[in-house]
């Protein structure tokens, strides 16, 4: 009956394979090592402090190769070649423009078909008088000199308007004082005389100087315009009995008639503005003149060539030579 007392579901030998000595030793040792390992322990951190790299010391630059800022020799050579080509095109354009203007001047001197009709002053067709000059800034004057040439033209127009207002101011001056008839008469003379003279003597020379790069025209302009500046200063001063409504004459009228004094002061201010603008433009023209390469020797050559090629001078010289030859032949 003892056999029936045993449990049939129990192994006859209660043997635990994990109780083996070799297995127990291995498993027990592995667990101890795992439990003792701490990656954040102070000993481990201290041993690795010499090899770690702090975050702040790391480079913030991305690991990308930077492009070179300096241009390559090929790019530099290409830029230099493009610059030379651009300069060559500019020189060719200027040479073509000078050639065209030279041909036009030759055609005008020879009476060719390219001769252009005078267009200044712009008078109506039914007017008995005809224009005296040809003027076209865009065609005659190089682009770099057009602005200064137009300013000289505007100065001449302002000069003419000032002389006309001076006549009116001197008329008002004469109405308040019968002894100032001399000023009124001289103001009319200055308006009639200085308006066309200033056009011919200093505006047209500077126009021709910029048009044809003429040294003689430049020197003639400087010589005449210097005296024009002196005249502006005298007119703005207003010396009595000189026909100018300047500061002296206008201030002397304050006690007599305030309205006439105000009118005369306005004209005196116009004369002062003329003087200031004339000095400024004279310096500007002189700076442009120095860039053109003009000189006194060139002016002398242009003057001598102009005199000797003049038909009137040639006929007069030929007549004088023939008369001298006839007189010498008769004496012999």
Show the 3-state SS of the chain.
CHHHHCCCCCCCCCCCHHHCHHHHHHHHHHHHHHHHCCCCCHHHHHHHCCCCCCCCCCCCCCCCCCCCCCCCHHHHHHHHHHHHHHHHHHHHHHHHHHHHHHHHHHHHHHCCCCCCCCCECCCCCCCCCCCCECCCHHHHCCHHHHHHHHHHHHHHHHHHHHHHHHHHHHHHHHHHCHHHHHHHHHHHHHHHHHHHHHHHHHHHHHHHHHHHCCHHHHHHHHHHHHHHHHHHHHHHHCCCCCCCCCHHHHHHCCCCCHHHHHHHHHHHHHHHHHHHHHHHHHHHHHHHHHHHCCCHHHHHHHHHHHHHCCHHHHHHHHHHHHHHHHHHHHHC
Q: Residue 277: which pLDDT band, with cuts at 50, 70 and 90?
A: very high
Q: How many domains does the chain have?
A: 2
Looking at the fold, whether 154 and 277 belong to one and the same domain comes out as yes
Looking at the fold, whether 108 and 245 belong to one and the same domain comes out as no
pLDDT of 27 reads 58
Looking at the fold, whether 104 and 242 belong to one and the same domain comes out as no
Looking at the fold, whether 90 and 186 belong to one and the same domain comes out as no
Looking at the fold, whether 99 and 210 belong to one and the same domain comes out as no
Looking at the fold, whether 200 and 103 belong to one and the same domain comes out as no
Q: Is residue 32 part of a domain?
A: no
Q: Is residue 242 part of a domain?
A: yes
pLDDT exceeds 60 at position 249: yes
Distance from C-alpha of 278 to C-alpha of 233, rounded to nearest angstrom: 10
> What is the domain range of residue 187?
143-294
Distance from C-alpha of 14 to C-alpha of 3, rounded to nearest angstrom: 17
More confidently predicted of 40 and 34: 40
* Token pair belonging to 37: 């390992």
Looking at the fold, whether 93 and 176 belong to one and the same domain comes out as no
pLDDT exceeds 60 at position 237: yes
pLDDT exceeds 60 at position 188: yes
Strand partners, 120: 133
Looking at the fold, whether 147 and 287 belong to one and the same domain comes out as yes
Q: Is residue 251 part of a domain?
A: yes
Task: Tell me the per-residue pLDDT of 110-124, one tens digit each, with 9 for 90 and over.
Answer: 544 456 788 888 888
Q: Is residue 134 part of a domain?
A: no
Residue where a domain stops, chosen among 100, 115, 130: 115
Looking at the fold, whether 242 and 111 belong to one and the same domain comes out as no
Q: Is residue 265 part of a domain?
A: yes
* Token pair belonging to 264: 């005369």
Looking at the fold, whether 90 and 156 belong to one and the same domain comes out as no
Distance from C-alpha of 271 to C-alpha of 231, rounded to nearest angstrom: 10
Among 141-155, 241-255, 286-300, the least confident range = 286-300
Sequence-separated contacts (24+) of 68-74 with Cβ below 8 Å: none
Residue where a domain stops, chosen among 69, 98, 115: 115
Looking at the fold, whether 99 and 150 belong to one and the same domain comes out as no
Looking at the fold, whether 152 and 269 belong to one and the same domain comes out as yes
pLDDT exceeds 90 at position 199: yes
pLDDT of 314 reads 47
Q: Is residue 13 part of a domain?
A: no
Q: Is residue 66 part of a domain?
A: no
Q: What is the mean pLDDT of residues 317-328?
A: 53
Q: What is the mean pLDDT of residues 322-329?
A: 54
pLDDT of 309 reads 46
More confidently predicted of 64 and 117: 117
Q: Is residue 75 part of a domain?
A: no
Q: What is the mean pLDDT of residues 23-27?
A: 58
> What does the mean pLDDT of the chain come to?
77
């Amino acid at each position: 009956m003892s056999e029936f007392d045993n449990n049939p579901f129990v192994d006859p030998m209660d043997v635990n394979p994990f109780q083996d000595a070799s297995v127990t030793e291995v498993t027990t040792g592995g667990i101890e090592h795992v439990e003792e390992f701490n990656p954040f322990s102070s000993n481990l951190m201290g041993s690795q402090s010499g090899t770690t790299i702090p975050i702040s010391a790391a480079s913030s630059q991305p690991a990308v190769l930077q492009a070179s800022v300096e241009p390559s020799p090929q790019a530099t050579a290409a830029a230099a070649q493009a610059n030379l080509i651009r300069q060559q095109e500019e020189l060719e354009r200027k040479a073509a423009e000078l050639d065209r203007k030279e041909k036009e001047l030759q055609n005008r001197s020879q009476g060719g078909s390219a001769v252009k009709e005078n267009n200044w002053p712009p008078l109506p067709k039914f007017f008995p008088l005809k224009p005296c000059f040809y003027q076209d800034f865009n065609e005659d004057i190089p682009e770099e000199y057009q602005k200064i040439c137009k300013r000289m033209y505007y100065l001449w127009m302002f000069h003419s308007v000032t002389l006309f207002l001076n006549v009116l101011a001197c008329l008002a001056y004469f109405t308040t004082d019968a002894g100032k008839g001399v000023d009124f008469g001289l103001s009319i003379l200055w308006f009639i005389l200085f308006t066309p003279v200033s056009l011919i003597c200093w505006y047209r020379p500077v126009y021709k100087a910029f048009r044809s790069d003429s040294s003689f025209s430049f020197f003639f302009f400087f010589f005449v315009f210097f005296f024009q500046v002196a005249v502006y200063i005298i007119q703005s001063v207003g010396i009595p009995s000189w026909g100018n409504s300047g500061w002296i004459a206008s201030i002397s009228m304050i006690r007599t008639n305030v309205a006439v004094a105000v009118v005369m002061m306005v004209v005196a201010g116009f004369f002062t503005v003329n003087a200031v603008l004339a000095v400024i433009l004279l310096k500007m023209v002189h700076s442009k003149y120095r860039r053109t390469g003009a000189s006194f020797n060139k002016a002398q050559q242009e003057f001598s060539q102009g005199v000797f090629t003049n038909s009137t001078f040639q006929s007069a010289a030929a007549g004088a030579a023939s008369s001298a030859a006839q007189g010498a032949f008769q004496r012999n």
